[in-house]
Each structure stands twice: as structure tokens, then as C-alpha cells.
Chains A and B, each alone.
Chain A
Amino acid sequence: MRGRAVDLAVALFVLICTLPVVGLFVTSFRDKDQIAASGWWTAFSPVEETRAFRLPDRGEETGVLLGATLTGSVLAGDGRVTGFGITPRAPVAFAPGEVARFSGGGTVTVSADGAFSVSDRSGHAGGRRIYYGARLSPRLTLGNYVTVLGAEGLGRSFLNSAAVAIPSTVIPAVIACFAAYALAWMRFPGRALLVSAVVVLMAVPLQMALIPLLTLYNSAGQAFGFEAKSYVGLWLAHTGFGLPLAIFILRNAMSALPGAMIEAARMDGAGDFVIFSRVVLPLTLPALAGFAVFQFIWTWNDLLVALVFLGPQDDTLVLTGRLLNLLGSHGGDWQLLAAGAFVSIAAPLCVFFALQRYLVRGLLAGVSR
């Protein structure tokens, strides 16, 4: 009995954590009209929609003219009409099969399968609007993704984000490995002070650094004739901001290695570089992977640093920036926002599910000790 309660509580926990994401995921495949008509939790059941339909004029292809009678169907796909009407104020006043009379003459009837027939000797009914309520079968589509990747520019931004995140992960990882080795296994004056400094720098709010660095980039760019906003500048900024955590995690992992092993290598005549690259580094790979997963997710998801050092212009905008723009310009178009959000979180989610073990290790190493 108690075991059941724990199962239930955890299930509830998981549900609350995942349901918002599932909802958006389902929404990203839905049709615009259906998103507005019903909640995503009904996405796989028929949707009740009220729509307008313009009766064809004589001679138009959509209606078939039989004497004075127009026939055709109000439904384009599958579905059942639950009621119809001839004014927008009473869109479902008539049950399927009943006959409605237009004020100017002529009658119309709509049957449950969507077939309508208009008898109209006076010619008033052609081109008029009728209204109907229908249960439409769910329409699921990949069209939203096609739109956001192409017309909305998220495809381009996906590549930009990759161009930001991958070097911004590799560069600090490499640099931190060397620094961490020195701080873990080399003796020199000021070592303890440097380790403390790294801890302090981990907590510096990076927003503080943006303006001074931007002014520095601008004046250096003017003095030496390079573009102030560039990928290289952004990579180095991400490197600088990520280094304290990287050094901290890697130093902890390296100093946990047995000292006797390092001593033995030293006795065999190995220099520091050999010990570092042949002995210490291979044993630190899991911690390195932990940092890399963490840093990749962080740089991919970053908005502020990319916005400041790369700018908001179209050709270099990263995914998070593009998604923010989409929120501003298409705030109510949930089919686009949902698809856009999933494009932007796809890569970090894949990395998360594939390398979760290392991420957990990285998180643990980042806070413990």
C-alpha cells in the first residue's frame, strides 16, 4: 500500500515536470485553427469547430448546378456537421437536414455528411455565407516545422547556434585541462590563492562583464581594424565565462587521482607534459565529458552573451534570439512558436538524453567538495 503511494507521488511529480513540454510538442504538429479551437490534450480526438462557408455563385466550379439547385460539400476533409445557420449570430441554429430560408428568398439545407443543397430561383443565394458547426477529425502536420525552419529562419539559426556552441565548448575544455593539472599536481608559490580565486570567479554575475568587454572589443577593433562583433570574440567570451567552472571540476577530478601513481611516473623520468597527457588526462575524461555536456547545453541555450557579442542581425542570430523574436512578432501563433521552441531545444535535449550520465557527474563535481 505504501509502495503504491510512493509510485503515485513520483508519477505525479514526473507528470507536472513533463506535461508542459509534452503539450507544446503535441501543439507543434497541430493545425492553426485546431490549436485555437481546443486544448492540446484533445489533439487526437475530433475537434468541434464553427466555421463559415461561402456558397458558390452560379457557374463556379465548386458547386454543381442542377436546374435551380446548387449542391456541394462544406467540408474539405473528414468530419460531421453538427448544425448550421445562415447568420453569424446563430451559426448552428438548424440541425443537419433541416431547411433554412434566406430572407431574400431561396432555401438551404446541410446534411450531416457536409453535403449542402441550395434551391434558389431568384439568384439571391449564390455567393452568400452560411455557417456550420462540425466535428472535424484531428489534422496533424509537419508544415509548422517546414515554416519555421525555412521562412522564419530557424534553420539558419540552428547552424549559427552550432557554430557558437561547439567551439565555445572545446576551447575552454582544452585550456582548463592544462590549468587544472598545474593547480592539482604542480608545486609553485601562490597555488592555493589561485584555487580560491577560481572559486570566487565562478560566482561573478557575467552580466557585469558585458559592457566593459564590449567597449574593449570596440576600441580594439578600431585600433587593429577587425570587426568588433565576431564568432571568435563570442567564443573567447564564452571561454572566459566557462573557465572557472571548468578548472574547478577538472582540478577536483585530477587531485582525486592517487598521488603514488603520479610519483611513480615521475620516478620513471616522465616530465610534466608526459604525465599530464599520458597519465592524468585519460583518467579525467569522464569529468571532462561532464563539463563539456554542461558547457554545450549552457552555450547553446545562452541568449544574452550571443546577443551582445554577435548582435541581433539576421545572418548571425542564434536560436534563442530567433525564438525571442518569434515571441514578439508571432505572440499568438502557437503552431509556429511550438515548432520553433522544439527546433531550439532539440539539440540540447538529444545531448541530455544521450550523455545524461556525464551531465550528472559534471553537476556533482561542480558543487561537491
Chain B
Amino acid sequence: MANSQRVGLTQARAAPIAGGTHRVAVGVRMTALSPWLFLAPALGLLALYLVYPALATLWFALHDRAGQDFVGAANFAWAFHDPGVRRALANNLLWLLVVPATSTALGLLAAALTERLRWGGAARTLILMPVAISFVGAAVVWRFVYDFRPEGAAQTGLLNALVVAFGGTPRAWIALPFWNSFFLMAIVIWVQTGFAMVILAAALRGIGKDTVEAARLDGANGLQIFAWIVVPQIRGTIAVVWIAITLAVLKVFDIVLAMTNGQWNTGVLANLMFDRMFRGGGHLGQGAVIALVLIGLVAPVVFWTLCRARGQGQGR
């Protein structure tokens, strides 16, 4: 990389002088050099583990199954026509519509409610707890909730037990076409709500008490104050939380793998990519194209974040 070359050159030039009488010159040179010394390990690893793979993915996308012969846009044409890719893309979009919005809304609700309680801190800890649980662990937790026994047998899954208690028919929830995706989403919402709550609770603590007080004096009720005074003030934070959850949702993989392994039409892009790359001998080109589709979905979000970061950087 350019950085390490530069470090190497400067060191070579500095070496004969060091120990000589040109102390000042060495000092100056060291100052110019030292940022790159501090940065070198990080830049090297970032280049190898993130930048190189991104470029390699572009290259693989234009090549065949084994990554050897150039095939032009054939893999892209495959992705465009393949029903599996379309299904996964549709599922991903459904996830993107449902999960960030629901998690953010529930997180905001939890933040606003716990703020008023004396035991709010303890409540927040418990609501945040799922963040620490692995997706595979969460899949076991929720498969037990969704567990299904034939009608008539004792339902040991919480959801079916509730359904039966209210006079309904027990169902195998994760095999129920279309709706099963929502039962998988519930798990991610369960994990992300705590995250949203923590960030939004901090934002709520930061808003001006005088604005709320003024609205109250004007006769606004609690709901009006929340909708018209509080929420507009934390709009930026809500957007950030929404974006962060959106990025997390695009990477969803473990949950689908552990819950259904993509069966019953629940597959998403990340799982499809994993399948194309590692199962049945693998097809590097097709896997890489799916990766590029994922990056295409991430790109606008990143662009927005970057613009926002730039704007704030100038403000400071």
C-alpha cells in the first residue's frame, strides 16, 4: 500500500541521520512520519480485510463459477432472472419496511415510558438484555416460543398455548407461508428495540425542559407535547437509529439460517449469497453478484450518513 511504502522510504532516509548531530531535522521528520506510524497497523488491516475484498468481489462478479474465466455480465443476467434472487430481494425489502420502523417506534415508546419511572433504569436493562444474546441463541429461544404440537396435545410453545387458551387453532408458525417472515422479524425487532431505546432515551434526556414546560403552560396534553414538542427535537437521533437498524437488517443471516434455513420462502440475500458461495460446490461469480446487490442497497444509506457526518464536521 502507498502508506507503508511511504513509511519505509522515510525510515530509510532517517536512519543515517539518527544518532548524528541533526537532532532538529530528525524531530521534524519524525513529526511528519509519526501519524503514519500510528496509523499503519490499522490501515494495513483495513486495506486487507475490507478494501481488498470489495475490489475482489467486483472482479469475481465478472468471472465464472471458479473465478477463472471472464464471463462479462452473465452473472448479472442470472441474478436478474433467477426467481430465488427475486424472492430473497422481495423478502429483504419487506424486512427493511417492517423491522427498522417497528424497532424504532417501540424503542421510542420504551424510552418515553421508562423515563418517567423510578424503576426505569432496571426496566431499560431488561429491555436491552436481548442485545447480548447471539442470533443462534435467540433462534433457540424463539423456536421454543413458536413450538407446535398437533392439535389436542398439550401446547408447550408459549404462542400456541396462548392461541389455544383464547380458543384458536394451534399452528406451525415458522412454516406458515408469507406470515412466517414476520415471525422471524419479531426476533430481530426483539433484539433491536433495546438498542433503539437506549439511544433515544439519551436523546430524550438532552432536550430542553423549558420547551416542554412552555407547551404545558399553553395547555397541551402529554400526547400533544410528545408528538409536537419532543419528537421534532430528537428527529436527527430517530433517523440515526433508523439507519443503524437498517444496516443491521441488511446483514441478517444467522436468524434465518437457524430458524428456517431459508425454507418456506423465508430466504434473504445474505443467506442466498452464503448458499451460492459455499453449498453445492459454490459459484463465486453468482455469490459475488448477490454481494454487490447487497452493497447497492447499503450504498444510499452510507452516502446519507457520510453527508451528515461531513455537515457536522464542518459545524464543529
Stretch at the interface among B15-23, B38-46, B211-219, B224-232: B38-46
Contact in complex: B120, A10 (CB < 8 Å):
yes
Contact in complex: B310, A20 (CB < 8 Å):
no
Contact in complex: B135, A303 (CB < 8 Å):
yes
Contact in complex: A352, B253 (CB < 8 Å):
no
Would you list which residues of chain B between 36 and 94 have a CB under 8 Å from chain A?
36, 38-39, 41-43, 45-46, 48-54, 56-57, 60, 67
Stretch at the interface among A95-103, A136-144, A196-204: A196-204
Shortest Cβ gap from B19 to chain A (Å): 17
B141 on interface, CB distance cutoff 8 Å: yes
Would you list which residues of chain A between 313 and 357 have a CB under 8 Å from chain B?
319-320, 323-324, 327, 334, 337-338, 340-341, 344-345, 348-349, 351-353, 356
The tally of residues in B whose CB lies under 8 Å from a CB in A reads 97
Residues of B within 8 A of A366 (CB): 244
Residues of B within 8 A of A272 (CB): 31, 34, 38
Residues of B within 8 A of A18 (CB): 126, 129
Residues of B within 8 A of A90 (CB): none
Shortest Cβ gap from B274 to chain A (Å): 7
Contact in complex: B38, A356 (CB < 8 Å):
no
Contact in complex: A240, B141 (CB < 8 Å):
no
Partner of B254, one of A20, A187, A303, A356: A303
- Given A204-B54, A212-B56, A349-B132, A182–B38 Cβ distance below 8 Å? yes
Residues of B within 8 A of A241 (CB): 49-50
Would you list which residues of chain A between 157 and 192 have a CB under 8 Å from chain B?
175-176, 178-179, 181-183, 186-188, 191-192
Q: Is the interface of B mostly helix, strand, loop or mixed?
A: helix
B190 on interface, CB distance cutoff 8 Å: yes
B99 on interface, CB distance cutoff 8 Å: no
Stretch at the interface among A21-29, A68-76, A117-125: A21-29
Residues of A within 8 A of B142 (CB): 20
Measured between alpha carbons, how far is A23 from B147 in the docked complex, in Å? 12
Contact in complex: B154, A39 (CB < 8 Å):
yes
Contact in complex: B42, A176 (CB < 8 Å):
yes
Residues of A within 8 A of B57 (CB): 208, 211-212
Residues of A within 8 A of B130 (CB): 17, 21
- Given A196-B310, A209-B53, A244–B251 Cβ distance below 8 Å? no
B127 on interface, CB distance cutoff 8 Å: yes
B123 on interface, CB distance cutoff 8 Å: yes
A-B contact sample (20 more), CB < 8 A, given A201-B46, A363-B198: A17-B193, A18-B129, A19-B158, A20-B142, A21-B130, A179-B38, A179-B41, A205-B251, A205-B294, A207-B273, A210-B277, A216-B56, A236-B45, A236-B49, A237-B49, A272-B34, A301-B133, A338-B144, A345-B134, A349-B129
Binding site for A on B (CB under 8 A): 31-32, 34-36, 38-39, 41-43, 45-46, 48-54, 56-57, 60, 67, 109-110, 113-114, 116-117, 119-120, 123, 125-137, 139-145, 147, 154-158, 161, 190, 193-195, 198-199, 202, 237, 240-241, 244, 247, 250-251, 253-254, 257-258, 270, 273-274, 277-278, 284, 287-288, 291, 294-295, 298, 301-302, 305-306, 309-310, 312-313
